[in-house]
Amino acid sequence: MTPLIEVRDLVKHFPIRKGVVFQRQVGAVQAVDGISFDINEGETLGIVGESGCGKSTTARLITRLLEPTSGSITYEGRDISHLSRQELKPLRRDMQVVFQDPYSSLNPRKTVGTIIGEPFVIHGIEYDTAKRKRLVQDLMEQVGLNPEHYNRLPFEFSGGQRQRIGVARAIALKPRLVVADEPVSALDVSIQAQILNLLRDLQRELGLTIVFIAHDLSVVRHMCDRVAVMYLGKIVEFANNEQLYDHPRHPYSGALLSAVPVPDPRLAREKHRQVLVGDVPSPTNPPPACRFHTRCPKFVAGHCDVEEPLLEAKQGGNIAACHYPLTDEEIASRVPTAAA
C-alpha cells in the first residue's frame, strides 16, 4: 500500500539577509536539512524534538504552507512540492492543521460559527447559510462544544474550548490528514487530556491520519504509533512506539527520555539522569558531520566530527543515525521506560 505522504530529502533554508535596499544573503537558517520519511494512512506519526530542531517547519512543509528549498513531498503519489496556490487549493480539503496557541490562532473578530463554517465556503461545499449552520453545530457537538454558542466570539471561551474550535474547523471537511502542531502545549494539564482524548476519538470516527508534533515525550508515547526524533534539522532516530520507548538507540533520544521528569519519586531517585552538556547550537551554523557530537556523551573524536552517520537499522529495529548507538546497559540505567 502506498504511503499517504512520502517525503524525500526535504530541505528548507530560510535566508538571512542584510542590507537596506539591496539585500545580500549572508547566511541561512537551515531549519530542515535533508529529511526523508513516509506517512502511512491511518497512523499517528509523532515528530519530537526541542526548539530549533525543525519540527514545526516540517509540519508546514508537509501541508505546503511553506515551499521546500529542495527535495520532494508526494501526496498519494503526486508530487506537490512546488504546486501553485491554485493547484494546492483542492488538496487543502484533505490536509489540515491544528495550531499550538489557541489564543492567537483564532481570528478574534469572527464568531465561532463563522470560523468553523469558513472551510465550507472557501471550498464551495455549502453556501446556504442555514444548512451550513446545521453542519457547524453538528461539528461543535462532535468536539464537545455547546452548539448554542454558535454566535460567540473566541474571547468568551477558555483555552481548551478554543482548541476544540480549532479542531472542529480542521475536521470540518473530513480531511484525510491532520497535522497537530503542539496542540496541547499551551493548555493546563487537566485540559490536555480532554483534547488528546478528543483527537484519538476523532481519529477513530473519521479514519484520520495524524502527524503529531510535540516536545513532550510522554504525550507522544501516548498518542503515536511511530516517532521521528529530530535534532537541528535532521531526523536522528525513526522507530515505532515500542522500539523507541523500550530501547532508544540514538544518544539524543536517550537523553530526551532520560530528561523527562517522571511523576514517581521512587523512580526519580533510582534513575541516573543523562544530563547533556551545553546548549543546542544555532541552526545557522550547525556542527559538521554528526550535528549532535558537541553534546553527545558517546562522542568519539575523529569519527563523529568527521563522518556524518547515516540513518540505518540498529539493534531492535530502530533506524538511527549514529556511529555508537546506546547499548542495552546504558539504556537500562538512564531511561525510565526501558523494558526491565
Partner 1 sequence: MALLEVRDLKVHFNTDDGVVKAVDGVSYSVDRGQALGIVGESGSGKSVSSLTVMGLTRFFSNAQISGEILLDGKDLLAASDEEMRHLRGSEISMIFQDPLSSLHPFYKIGDQLVEAIRTHRDVSRAQALDRAVEMLGLVGIPEPRRRVDGFPHEFSGGMRQRVMIAMALANDPKLLIADEPTTALDVTVQAQILELIGRLQNELDTAIVIITHDLGVVAEVTDEIAVMYAGRIVERAPTDTIFSAPEHPYTWGLLGSIARLDAPRGDELVPIPGRPPSLINLPTGCSFHPRCPYVREAHRRIDPSLEPVAGDSGHHVACLLNTETRKRLWRLLEAGTAPEEARAQVGLEDDVASPKEASL
CA 247 – CA 335 distance, rounded (Å):
9
- Sign of the Cα torsion 192, 42, 338, 292 reads negative
Span near partner 1 by CB under 8 A; candidates 61-69, 166-174, 186-194, 300-308: 186-194
Taking CB under 8 A as the criterion, the residue among 62, 180, 191, 331 binding partner 1 is: 191
What's the distance, Cα to Cα, between the start and end of the chain in Å? 35
Taking CB under 8 A as the criterion, the residue among 26, 122, 268, 332 binding partner 1 is: 268
Taking CB under 8 A as the criterion, the residue among 39, 59, 62, 145 binding partner 1 is: 145
Instruction: Assign 92 to helix, strand or coil.
Output: helix
Q: Which residue, 76 or 216, is less far from partner 1 as judged by CB?
A: 216
Taking CB under 8 A as the criterion, the residue among 267, 300, 306, 313 binding partner 1 is: 267
Q: For the sheet containing 78-79, what is the strand order?
A: 24-39, 5-18, 70-75, 78-79
146 binds partner 1 (CB under 8 A): yes
Q: Which residue, 30 or 337, is less far from partner 1 as judged by CB?
A: 337
Joined together, the cell numbers standing for residue 38 give: 513516509
336 binds partner 1 (CB under 8 A): yes
Span near partner 1 by CB under 8 A; candidates 85-93, 106-114, 259-267, 324-332: 259-267
**Under rule CB under 8 A, which residues in 34-53 are in contact with partner 1?**
50-51
# residues near partner 1 by CB under 8 A: 49
65 binds partner 1 (CB under 8 A): no
Read off the DSSP letter of residue 249: -
User: In sequence order, which residues have a C-beta less than 8 Å from that of residue 338 and are 6 or more positions away?
Assistant: 246, 247, 331, 332
Q: Least distance from C-beta 263 to partner 1, angstroms?
A: 4
In the chain, the DSSP E strands lie at 5-18, 24-39, 44-48, 70-75, 78-79, 95-98, 177-181, 209-214, 226-231, 234-240, 311-313, 319-321
Q: How far is C-alpha 139 from the geometric centre of its chain's CA atoms?
A: 24
Q: Least distance from C-beta 325 to partner 1, angstroms?
A: 18
x/- track of binding to partner 1 for residues 227-246 (CB under 8 A): --------------xx--x-
Q: Which residue, 75 or 212, is less far from partner 1 as judged by CB?
A: 212
Q: Least distance from C-beta 340 to partner 1, angstroms?
A: 11
Q: For the sheet containing 177-181, what is the strand order?
A: 95-98, 177-181, 209-214, 44-48, 226-231, 234-240, 319-321, 311-313
Q: Least distance from C-beta 27 to partner 1, angstroms?
A: 18
CA 13 – CA 283 distance, rounded (Å):
10
Q: Which residue, 222 or 323, is less far from partner 1 as judged by CB?
A: 222
155 binds partner 1 (CB under 8 A): no
> Is the separation of the CB atoms in 326 and 237 below 8 Å?
no
Taking CB under 8 A as the criterion, the residue among 1, 20, 189, 340 binding partner 1 is: 189
Taking CB under 8 A as the criterion, the residue among 115, 116, 136, 256 binding partner 1 is: 256
Joined together, the cell numbers standing for residue 219 give: 504525550
194 binds partner 1 (CB under 8 A): yes
Q: Which residue, 279 or 329, is less far from partner 1 as judged by CB?
A: 279
Taking CB under 8 A as the criterion, the residue among 280, 304, 322, 331 binding partner 1 is: 280
- The single-letter code of the amino acid at 35 is I
Instruction: Assign 163 to helix, strand or coil.
Output: helix
The site for partner 1 (CB under 8 A) is made up of 50-51, 144-146, 158, 160-161, 188-194, 196-197, 215-219, 221-223, 241-242, 245, 255-268, 273, 275-276, 279-280, 336-337
